[in-house]
Chain A
Amino acid sequence: MFYSNSNLDTIEEFEKRREAAAKLSLADGVELIVDDYDHDSWLKTVAAGLENEPEKGARCAKCFRFSLARAAAYAAAHGYDGFASSLTVSPHKISAVVFGAGEAAAETIRQTHPDGEVPEFLRYDFKKGEGFKLSVRRARELGLYRQGYCGCEFSKRKGAEVC
């Protein structure tokens, strides 16, 4: 389980969600890999000029690309065959856009490793078959922290959706 959340507006929120990921990884017996928290670079690369975009807009598509590029790079460096994204579990995330970001990340890796085996992006849609409801139930069972906003400071605006 690769935890990358530089989109989060504060380190406190990053820690709360990291703890939840740690509990889940322990419960499921999978290793947790925690990526560096680098919100400044996220602000520069993703949000600059797109601060007023609504959720599900252009900023979010770039945000998915930012995190999935880091996941793809990690997967490639450590010999994984593939990677998927739990972003698709949210009913507020358009899976087609997440898939587009994942495939773009995989393609970038492919271009930089022309001769090597590179991880494939797996188009796994975790919200299908009531996946979101299952995730809520699981979070309740494990006593996991549940986020009250999507993540960045721009998703905290009044009227923004909880993802």
Chain B
Amino acid sequence: MGMVALGYETTLPVTMSQTLSATAAVARVVKSAMVVGDMPFGSYQCGDDEAMKNAVAIIQAGADAVKLEGGARVCGLIRRMTEAGIPVLAHVGMTPQSVNQFGGFKKQGKGEAAAQVAADARAVEAAGAFAVTLECIPADLAAKITAELKISTIGIGAGPACDAQWLVMHDLLGLNENAPSFVKQYAHLAGDVRAAFAAYVKDVTDGAFPGV
């Protein structure tokens, strides 16, 4: 949401109130899909009690589950949320909220770092996460983790072997013209939108719309 809908360069500026209104809007229209509210940066880094309150707020806004980023370091929180009845989708590998630590949106888990990503995935499973997102890691590592874990893996830029795949809606529809290289676009709506607005402006300035 932060990068494709709100115009931010990273996901870091997204706030709890933006998350709550987006979660509520999605939850109002969804009929059968599971709604997962993504905990924004800062909402679970300043103490576990505050993180719990924020997770509860996301559920109360209409989400069925929350997602948070990190491996072993967030396992205490995953355990606490799960025990409180809040299903947690974990997220390891290239975790966008740690972009400043990574020095950019760079592939993680290459070479010796693979063991750490695999250990993080194992840790979040043991802590109770119901599924884990694997973002931007080598495809063979994602395949290995997918086979090893009992919970489902959801890949984004992590090859075809994951149990399920993420694709950001704006990227899928071709609304985001700066989409990452692993994205596949199934439509090119940005061009259609631009053409529609240009046609509208032309009609107004030509006197063709509105009619008399």
Contacts and interface: CB of A to CB of B under 8 A. Distances in A.
A130 B147 contact: yes
Interface stretch (A17-25, A88-96, A145-153): A88-96
Interface string B121-144: 000000000000000000000011
Interface in A54-99: 56, 91, 94-97
Interface residues of B, number: 12
A128 B160 contact: no
B48 interface: no
A96 B164 contact: yes
Interface of B: 143-144, 146-150, 160-161, 163-165
B147 A131 contact: yes
Nearest to A94: B160
Contacts of B165: 96
**Most chain A Cβ neighbours within 10 Å, of B144, B147, B160:** B147
Q: Tell me what chain A mostly uses at the interface: helix, strand, loop, or mixed.
A: loop
Contacts of B143: 91
A125 interface: yes
B149 A56 contact: no
Contacts of A131: 147
Contacts of A56: 160
A129 interface: yes
A91 B147 contact: yes
B161 A128 contact: no
A160 B163 CA distance: 23
A161 to B, nearest CB: 11
A129 B150 contact: yes
A127 B160 contact: no
B161 A91 contact: yes
B147 A96 contact: no
A126 to B, nearest CB: 10
A97 B165 CA distance: 12
B203 to A, nearest CB: 45
